[in-house]
Amino acid sequence: MNILITGGGPAGMTAAIKAAEAGENAGKQVNITILDHSDRLGKKLRMTGNGHCNLTNEVLSSDPLSAYSFADQRMLRNLFDRFGFEDTLAFFRSLGICIRNRDGLIYPYSDEAVSVVSALSGALERYGIRVITDCGIRKIDRTGSGFTAETTKGVFHADRLILACGGASYPKTGSDGSGYALAKSFGHRVNTPVPGLVRLVGKGSFFKNVAGVRMKGRMSLFADGRVIKTEDGELQLTEKGISGIAVMNLSNLLSAEKGPFSVRIDLMPEFSEDMIRSMLADKIRTIPGNAAELFTGILPRKLGAHFLKTAKIRPDIPMKEIGSQQIKKLTETVKKWEIGIEDTGSFEEAQITLGGVDTADLEDTLESRIVPGLYFAGEILDLHGFCGGYNLQLCWTTGAVAGVNAVCAPTKVDIK
């Protein structure tokens, strides 16, 4: 049996390794080839988690669907039953990776994404899996009961085909959305790809004055005046808007809702409005100085200056001249800072791609219901989650399920 895998990212490498294992366990002769148009495998994987590689999340051991609220729940439940959190830990331990659990986030103990790529690459070599890099795919046709791929490195024939080409995020790593055209060529529906886990572009010209500020807060996404989701976490202010893990999680929800959009930020969620009003009033009463010092030790300097400007309070006036109504206004701003959202960041900066191959066209084995012998794995699928190792878990899971079933599952008869 010959298996062809397009894409040498986390899903593609996992599919290859699990297919090789399945063939060995079943006593089958399986020849596996990975085609990748980058110059080396796992380019995007090397960047994940800021180079540390958050492999998965302990939450998946007890509540595997909570981080995928906008994905195909039935499909996910089936996939995680086949290859879930514990299977992932066992898989990486079998590759020689020691696991570090950091508050539920699972990393390689080395804290290096490159070590994960190295371990996966080592397994490919041990199983004799052929890897062709710098390989552009011109087209793939259905030929008889198999497939023929015409590429810049020659023609390849296979009995089974696994499309694991990735999405459209970070295109410089090779994840450029080219797999969607291949999926469409086989008659598969592709739900519109949009950037996911990405910063939000804010309305207003003030962002350049507060860019670089980072602090914890509580962010609530509003769509057409309704609260859609609230996230606690770090807020990062950029020259064009807001970012941070909590904000990126909220960004995933924009494509499914209708605007106008805004994010309401509580910069001091541990304090009530009464507590903040009292804190500011006490500071004005007991500490001499100018208004510019009002938020010193409370908020980052740039943010304090912006709020004073918004409230039309000159920073050079004595602090004691700030009135009770101004204190009330400042307090409300700290607790309910509203930022209008006009767009998300681009694919070039997005961590993942939302949308992709519609899972309604797939069997539970990840085999196509349209083309027998065709499987899908990884970010090319319309299956996505929030930050925290959840999307890499989808790569390990879908790669494993597609790889094993490409070898072991009886393929439907092509009646065409």
pLDDT of residue 370: 97
Give the pLDDT score at 49.
82
pLDDT at 68 over 60: yes
Distance CA 124, CA 42 (A): 12
Predicted confidence (pLDDT) at residue 411 exceeds the cutoff of 70: no
**Percentage with pLDDT > 70 across the chain:** 99
CB 274 within 8 A of CB 329: no
Q: How far is CA 143 from CA 140, 146, 156, 158, 181, in A?
A: 9, 5, 11, 9, 18
Q: What is the pLDDT of residues 228-241, one digit of tens each?
A: 999 999 999 999 99
User: What's the rounded Cα separation, in Å, for the pair 368 and 374?
Assistant: 5
The number of residues making up the chain comes to 416
Beta-bridged to residue 329, according to DSSP, are none
3-state secondary structure the chain: CEEEEECCCHHHHHHHHHHHHHHHHHCCCCEEEEECCCCCCCCCHHHHHHHCCCCEEHHHHCCCCCCCCCCCHHHHHHHHHHCCHHHHHHHHHHCCCCEEEECCEEEECCCCHHHHHHHHHHHHHHCCCEEECCCCEEEEEEECCEEEEEECCEEEEECEEEECCCCCCCHHHCCCCHHHHHHHHCCCCEEEEEEECCCEEECCCCHHHHCCCEEEEEEEEEECCEEEEEEEEEEEECCCEEECHHHHHHHCCHHHCCCCEEEEEECCCCCCHHHHHHHHHHHHHHCCCEHHHCCCCCCCHHHHHHHHHHCCCCCCCEHHHCCHHHHHHHHHHHHCEEEEEEEECCCCCCCEEEEEECHHHECCCCEECCCCCEEECHHHECCCCCCCCHHHHHHHHHHHHHHHHHHHCCCCCCCC
What tens digit of pLDDT does each residue of 372-400 get?
A: 999 999 999 999 999 999 999 999 999 99
Q: State the average pLDDT over residues 274-281.
A: 97
Closest by CA position to 237, among listed 257, 217, 254: 217
What type of residue is 318? P
What is the phi/psi pair of residue 173, to 5°? -90, 0
Q: What are phi and psi of 176, to 5 degrees?
A: -110, 10
413 has a pLDDT exceeding 60: no
CA 198/CA 369 separation, integer angstroms:
32
Dihedrals φ, ψ of 91, to 5°?
A: -60, -50
Q: Average pLDDT of 250-273? A: 94
The identity of residue 202, as a single letter, is G
281 token code pair: 């009033």
Query: For the whole prediction, is pTM greater than 0.95?
Result: no
Q: 113-126 vs 10-26: helix axis angle to the nearest 10?
A: 30
For the segment 342-365, what is each residue's pLDDT rounded down to a tens digit?
999 999 999 999 999 999 999 999
- Cβ contacts of 294-301, under 8 Å, gap ≥ 24: 294/319, 294/322, 294/330, 298/268, 299/215, 299/267, 299/334, 300/213, 300/214, 300/215
**Which residue did the predictor score with more confidence, 410 or 275?**
275
In this predicted model, what pLDDT tens digit does every residue of 23-64 receive, in sequence order? Answer: 999 999 999 999 999 999 999 999 888 889 999 999 999 998
Q: How does strand 154-158 pair with strand 160-163? A: unpaired
Region 273-281: what's the mean pLDDT?
Answer: 97
CA of residue 26 relative to chain centroid, distance: 35
Q: Which two tokens stand for residue 69?
A: 């609220």
pLDDT-based confidence at 412, cuts 50/70/90? low
Decide if pLDDT at 368 tops 80.
yes
